[in-house]
A and B are shown apart, each in its own frame.
Chain A
Amino acid sequence: MKTRIFAGMAVAAMLLAATGCGSKEAPEAGGEEDGSLTLGASLALTGATAKEGTYTKEGYEVCTKVINDKGGVVAGDKKYTLKVQYQDDTSKADVSAQLVDQYNDKGTKLILGPYGSGPTEAVAAVIERNGQVMAVSAGADNKIFAKGYRRSFAVLSPATSYVASMVQAISDLATPKPKTIAFISADDGFSKTATQGGIAKAKELGFEVVAEEYVPNQTTDVSAALTKIKPKNPNIIVGSVHLSEGIAIIKQAKELGVRPSGGFAETVAPPVPDFVKTLGTSAEGVLGSTQWTPKTEGSEKYFGTAADYAATFKSQYGGRNPTYHNAEATAACLALAMAVEKAGSTEPDKVRDALAALDTPSFFGPITFNDQGMNVTKPMAVVQIQNGKAVPVWPKDSAEAPLTWPGTT
């Protein structure tokens, strides 16, 4: 009996191998049919960064809706309806890379970036290899762009400016000026790069760095770092972290009696609504750095000003205000659409060149890229939680309110 099974399987295998004597056709280029231009996006819809991945998706959705409402993307003499295809990378970098490869097979050459520096780095390598083009919305680590990739372009300010901007803001606005800073950093690549950028800036501006502590990525317990920092009595504690660590720092600092006279400044966490919702009044006075606020300067034809963008987003998403994750995603999609328009075609190489040469103001700030593909001209904004809202306080000309100093009660 087993013989028959074995024999049958062997025959089947041979047959299949025999039929394997054709070759596949090359994938059709373009990713366009029936007047629509499809961009590919592999996003974290489930997994550790599902929240931020969903924000990114919303940003892409707003972009397609607004552009299509205004007539779609005009390339040469053809008009395209903009569409984005989504796949879930479960917050994992290698899955992201595989999905982008799959897009390439189907001929989708124009890609919108995933969420996070890890997946972005993995995808950038694939983009380079396949001759695709990517507009990066949420991968800020400078290390990604130091590898000589020429086909990925990031609309957001790089990681080094996340902390440096807050340090600069404190130096500019805080009176009396604080003297000592302690840094708490998550130990992933992006946070570490941001921390190094911040420390360099702090030393340059004459602050004394009294501590540099690292915590496990995505942890909810930073008590060890806080306990070590407490005896050093820093004037400010700066956190280069994500949402979970950011919330934990504030909560546990209160528990442990860690009260820096100047308060706290954190990357990523404060502008996210969860931060205020979870911490309540403890969040007051915390500084945050953000890629975008509704007061950012600049405008263009599709989205208008930052305030216009906020209004559009609000109406599409039931009265909810956009976060910077939404805005940076829309900006990436916008950049890609603009590049297609400028190039007059959807050919990846032409789009790539047009993207590299792009230099335009927008609701997100100036969008232009240096030769590494980073957007270094766009400044980050610094916000402060005042009365439960993230209020822009720096740069001065796009500030909504003055800095409340000291930052803690």
Chain B
Amino acid sequence: MAQFLQATLYGLLQGGLLALIAVGFSLVWGVMNVVNLAHGAFVLAGAYVALQLHEAFGLDPFVSMVPAAVVLFGIGYVIQRYLVNLVVNGPLFITLLLTFGLELVLVNLMLYLFTADHQSITTSYAENSIVLPGDVRIPYGRLLAALLALALTVALVYVMRRTRTGLSILATGMDRGAARLMGIKARHVYALTFGIAAAMAGAAGAAVGAVSTFSPADAGRFTLFSFVAAVLGGLGNMWGALYGGLVLGLVQGIGGQLLPGTLVNALAFAVLILVLAIRPQGIAGRAFYASRVEA
């Protein structure tokens, strides 16, 4: 019994972090209809930024979430404004290929700069845990990561729904032509969206660095899990990304106990396919683009 409780709690904590990784991905897809295959590389970049700051200044990785987010925002803005904007009007596999090429470039750049070493940012407290009855443990590091992820997502929703910038992003997502007619600079807004998504990813990366190990080989896995979480939750919907992440974490946690350990990934994809077959708009979403067509 304690075993399942442990698995559930641990899974939820992992899910919180996954949610933060997925929220940016979902935003970009929902607003611009761009699937960013390089998203995992942004997460990784955030982790490396936090690592460098930790090694140079001894900065705690959770504090480094802020500079990581800022740096990644800058990178994301520039990439979108001057690169991805060039192909945004094209068919979807053009953007997919562009972001794929981007992923190759970024991951190999990091491989070159930081080598293939497995890294982790050690803190004195992250691996200690709150101990509940039955020796069920909640590790501080993961708890902090999940709470910060939740806080950032809430903050993002607030920014999206209440500030002018956020509203202009949502408006451009709904109807770019109309938004432009209203005087919204679409190129800038797109770049802003991508920058925000990258910033979220960077912050998530810093948290990942604190609770787990990372190396350039992990970028693909981050992207893959963002996919599943984002689709699960509903594209373009930030609460959806949160739900999706939590559900995914939960499924993996409990699934890991009921099934042999190696089936955990298969479970994630089975969930993905089921959701797409039965309810493609996900738990919370309304499909922005590419709506389901009845045959």
Q: Which residues of A contact B (CB under 8 A)?
A: 46-48, 50-51, 54, 187, 213-216, 218, 220-225, 227-228, 230-231, 243-244, 247-248, 251, 254-257, 274, 278-280, 282
Contacts and interface: CB of A to CB of B under 8 A. Distances in A.
B118 A224 contact: no
Contact of B257 (A221, A224, A247): A224
Contacts of B261: 213-216, 222, 224-225, 228
A227 B3 contact: yes
25 contacts: A46-B111, A54-B116, A216-B264, A220-B214, A220-B218, A221-B212, A222-B261, A223-B10, A224-B253, A227-B10, A227-B257, A228-B256, A230-B3, A231-B2, A243-B118, A244-B213, A244-B215, A247-B118, A247-B120, A251-B212, A255-B141, A256-B6, A256-B137, A257-B137, A278-B213
A227 to B, nearest CB: 5
A248 B213 CA distance: 7
A274 B122 CA distance: 13
Contacts of A51: 115-118
Nearest to B140: A255
B118 A48 contact: no
Contact of A224 (B115, B129, B264): B264
B265 interface: yes
Name the residue in B2, B118, B264 with the highest tally of chain A Cβ atoms < 10 Å from its Cβ.
B118
Given A220-B218, A224-B253, A274-B117, 5 more contacts: A48-B217, A214-B261, A227-B3, A244-B118, A257-B137
B260 interface: yes
Contact of A50 (B7, B111, B141, B252): B111
A244 B213 CA distance: 7
Contact of A248 (B139, B212, B255): B212
Contacts of A244: 118, 213, 215
The list of the 9 closest CB pairs from A to B, nearest first, reads: A224-B256, A255-B139, A50-B116, A51-B116, A254-B127, A278-B120, A257-B137, A224-B261, A48-B217
A47 B111 CA distance: 9
A221 B137 CA distance: 16
B135 interface: yes
A278 B217 CA distance: 17
B52 interface: no
B85 interface: no
A243 B120 CA distance: 13
Contact of B122 (A231, A257, A278): A278
B251 to A, nearest CB: 12
Name the residue in A54, A230, A256 with the highest tally of chain B Cβ atoms < 10 Å from its Cβ.
A256
A220 B7 contact: no
B12 to A, nearest CB: 12
B262 interface: yes
Interface in B161-188: none
Interface string B253-295: 1011100111011000000000000000000000000000000
Contacts of A230: 3, 6, 135
Nearest to A254: B127
Interface residues of B, number: 40
Contacts of B6: 227, 230, 256
Nearest to A225: B261
Nearest to B208: A220
B262 A187 contact: yes
Interface string B65-103: 000000000000000000000000000000000000000
A159 B7 CA distance: 32
Contacts of B256: 223-225, 227-228
Name the residue in A220, A223, A224, A227 with the highest tally of chain B Cβ atoms < 10 Å from its Cβ.
A224
Contacts of B141: 255
A257 B214 CA distance: 22
Given A221-B212, A244-B215, A248-B212, A215 B262 contact: yes
Contacts of A216: 261-262, 264-265
Given A223-B253, A251-B120, A218 B127 contact: no
A187 B261 CA distance: 10
Name the residue in B6, B218, B256 with the highest tally of chain A Cβ atoms < 10 Å from its Cβ.
B256
B14 interface: yes
A220 B213 contact: yes
Nearest to B256: A224
A294 to B, nearest CB: 22
B131 interface: yes
B117 to A, nearest CB: 5
B118 A255 contact: no
Contacts of B264: 216, 224
A248 B14 CA distance: 14
B132 to A, nearest CB: 10
Contacts of A222: 261
A255 B213 contact: no
A224 B261 CA distance: 6
